[in-house]
Amino acid sequence: MEKILVTSALTYANGPLHIGHVAGSYLNADIFVRYNKLLGNDIIYIGGTDDYGTPISIKAEEEGVKPRVIAERYNKRMKKDLDGLNIQLDNFSGTSRPRHIKVSQDFFTNLLEAGYVNKKTLNQFYDEKHKRFLADRYIEGICPHCKSEGARGDQCDKCGKLIDAMSLIEPRSKISGEKPIIKETTHWYINLPKFEKQLREWLATKKYWKDNVLNFIMSWLNEGLIERAITRDLNWGIPIPLENTKGKVLYVWFDAPIGYISSTMEWAEKKGQPDLWKKYWLDPETKLIHFLGKDNIPFHTIIWPAVLSKQKEPFILPYDVPANEFLNLEGQKMSTSRNWTVWVEDYLKYFDGELLRYVLAANAPETKDSDFTWKDFQNKINNDLNNVLGNLANRTFIFIKKYLNGKVNKTENIDKLFAENLFSSGLNNNTPFYFDNLEDISDIINGIDESYKKYKVRRAVQLILLLTRIGNRYFDIEKPWVTIKKNRSEANETLFFCSELLRRISILFTPIMPEAMKKLRKMMNLADDFEWDDIKKVPESFKIGEVSPLFKKIEDAEIEKQLELLKEGSEIL
């Protein structure tokens, strides 16, 4: 049995959950966790919200409430959204909770005392009206290169050039619109160059990481690590634990990953075993796996391991960081500010969470950015789920009820059938590589197993669909509606095979569609508690219970409605 600790990147609490979050770091993690639970591994799944930072603080000011109110609101709503998608974290915390504050401050202190933090003084823009230091992004002005208006402090969108905020002409605060003053401030920096050798040695042991992740890291390392500020001047954040440092807080991305630890502590406490978190975080046998979007790679593979390694307690370092790329929407980059996304809350008003799980799994941005379109959503549900899988289940069960008194019995040759090459005629020699060398159904099942292990959810989906196609073909070839008339046992054989195939699919598909598979199993009177190894355990018979369609088709009008809603823009923000 393996011990695994899985995390999804903490989500920024300035809005509810959208499908980009789901595709980037939640669904893939949940599928991996569910698969491992079926295997019987000791696995916990931890996450939460990242509650601090300027955007939340500004939003709070606009609404005239405390930032904590905003963070708590979205934390709650996200939890609900995750529930609606059957994404089951063992704990969903938030970084504004007291425990997290204490742990983060200790982390800072330990790093400082170990000699890896330097203090520096620098000049920065300051908005006097809002009494706030301004991040580069919150300053606007005239670009010093192309002289056009509306350049931000970090970059000019017109000419694309990077800008040193201090060189902006006629700078003004994006928050108040007023001219900012330049003010001296002090910050603490993590001395990353001092970690370089250690990091390179550690990363050399991670050859099994995904290529996109390794590329990203190497580009950082090869540019040369520099010191990086881990504090900010803000009123909404974790105060740094030093004398005379009022208004200085930890930079959110310093404290956010620490949230994985504090969230695990919260989980342990809720379980009534406050030290249980140590069993995971302090045991070198634990595999720590961070699921996240590509934008988070450097934080989790450079800064986070560096910080972890200098604590007093022997924390484990990440075992794997299977980062996903981004999900686009109808061919365009998703953007919350342009309201170009699909909010889970909106989605759930119209469709079942399982359907989104399926579509995002089938089209996950595993190796490169992928595109979500409503038309594709409809196609995948109607074809893959409704027509191919749903119909296989329906025709099998209805047939058994109608012609075989609702029951089929195990046949002698069942193992042989599962070892026969039942699918090759539909494929030619140049099928995708993961279809090659598939001799029989057990090979396909092994392929699915391996795909889940390696976070290759798309491949798992393709192989499961291949199984359902085999079922439909077998049904057509054997023609039980003909054989039933002269040879009852022959029809029994066909239907037992199809039932057994569906039973195996109900296990194989559970990590992706747990509720739909539960429904499928219920129709077959199969138990809810099962494990991965049950795939091989053929029952003596199947008694079919009440039958209803597993899925239903999505009409064109429903899709048109979603496209309209997308154009209008959601109002849930």
Q: Which x/- pattern, by CB under 7 A, does the window 204-223 give for RNA?
A: --------x--xx--xx-xx
Query: Shortest gap between Cβ of 412 and RNA (angstroms)?
Result: 23
Nearer to RNA, 46 or 250 (CB): 250
Task: Select from 17, 46, 112, 165 the one that contacts RNA (CB under 7 A).
Answer: 165
- Residue 138 is classified by DSSP as G
Ordered DSSP codes for 430-461: TS-GGGTT--SHHHHHHHHHHHHHTT-HHHHH
Give yes or no for residue 473 binding RNA (CB under 7 A). Answer: yes
In whole angstroms, give the CA distance from residue 102 to residue 238: 9
Residue 55 dihedral angles phi and psi, to the nearest 5°: -55, -40
Cβ 237 vs Cβ 249: under 8 Å: yes
Q: Which listed range, 129-137, 169-177, 275-283, 311-319, lies at the site for RNA (CB under 7 A)?
A: 129-137
Task: From residue 452, give the alpha-carbon distance in Å to each of 30, 38, 372, 532.
Answer: 11, 12, 22, 12
Cβ 363 vs Cβ 376: under 8 Å: yes
Give yes or no for residue 489 binding RNA (CB under 7 A). Answer: no
In whole angstroms, give the CA distance from residue 139 to residue 179: 9
Give yes or no for residue 493 binding RNA (CB under 7 A). Answer: no
Q: Which residues pair with 398 in a beta bridge?
A: none
Nearer to RNA, 279 or 401 (CB): 401
* Residue appearing with tokens 């290529």: 211
Give yes or no for residue 349 binding RNA (CB under 7 A). Answer: no
Give yes or no for residue 229 binding RNA (CB under 7 A). Answer: yes
Query: Shortest gap between Cβ of 224 and RNA (angstroms)?
Result: 5
Nearer to RNA, 23 or 38 (CB): 23
Give yes or no for residue 494 binding RNA (CB under 7 A). Answer: no
Give yes or no for residue 549 binding RNA (CB under 7 A). Answer: yes
For residue 50, the SS3 value is strand
Query: Shortest gap between Cβ of 537 and RNA (angstroms)?
Result: 26
Give yes or no for residue 361 binding RNA (CB under 7 A). Answer: no
Q: Which residues ranging from 168 to 207 are in contact with RNA (CB under 7 A)?
A: 187, 192
Q: Which residues ranging from 296 to 315 are in contact with RNA (CB under 7 A)?
A: 296, 299
Nearer to RNA, 233 or 346 (CB): 233
Give yes or no for residue 91 binding RNA (CB under 7 A). Answer: no
Give yes or no for residue 129 binding RNA (CB under 7 A). Answer: no
Cβ 336 vs Cβ 77: under 8 Å: no
In whole angstroms, give the CA distance from residue 342 to residue 535: 36
Nearer to RNA, 215 or 446 (CB): 215
Q: Which residues ranging from 408 to 447 are in contact with RNA (CB under 7 A)?
A: 425-434, 436
Query: Shortest gap between Cβ of 393 and RNA (angstroms)?
Result: 7
Q: Based on C-alpha coordinates, what's the Rg of the chain?
A: 27
Q: Which x/- pattern, by CB under 7 A, does the window 381-400 give for RNA?
A: --xx-xxx-xx-xxx--xx-
Query: Shortest gap between Cβ of 525 and RNA (angstroms)?
Result: 18
Nearer to RNA, 20 or 153 (CB): 153
Give yes or no for residue 366 binding RNA (CB under 7 A). Answer: yes
Other Cβ atoms closer than 10 A to 50 = 23
3-state SS track over 532-550? HHHHHCCCCEEECCCCCCC
Size of the site for RNA (CB under 7 A): 96
In whole angstroms, give the CA distance from residue 262 to residue 102: 9
- ∠ CA 139-142-148, rounded to 5°: 130
Task: Select from 128, 369, 533, 556 the one that contacts RNA (CB under 7 A).
Answer: 369
Query: Shortest gap between Cβ of 178 and RNA (angstroms)?
Result: 17
Give yes or no for residue 135 binding RNA (CB under 7 A). Answer: yes
| Residue 284 structure tokens | 């070198």
Q: Which residues pair with 370 in a beta bridge?
A: 327
Nearer to RNA, 76 or 469 (CB): 469
Q: Which residues ranging from 43 to 62 are in contact with RNA (CB under 7 A)?
A: 50, 52-55
In whole angstroms, give the CA distance from residue 505 to residue 520: 10
Task: Select from 273, 367, 421, 541 the one that contacts RNA (CB under 7 A).
Answer: 367
Closest CA to 533 of 93, 38, 74: 38
Query: Shortest gap between Cβ of 264 and RNA (angstroms)?
Result: 21
Give yes or no for residue 337 binding RNA (CB under 7 A). Answer: no
C-alpha distance across the termini of the chain, in Å:
44
Closest CA to 445 of 414, 425, 427, 419: 419
Q: Which listed range, 59-67, 147-155, 280-288, 521-529, lies at the site for RNA (CB under 7 A)?
A: 147-155
Give yes or no for residue 253 binding RNA (CB under 7 A). Answer: yes
For residue 333, the SS3 value is coil
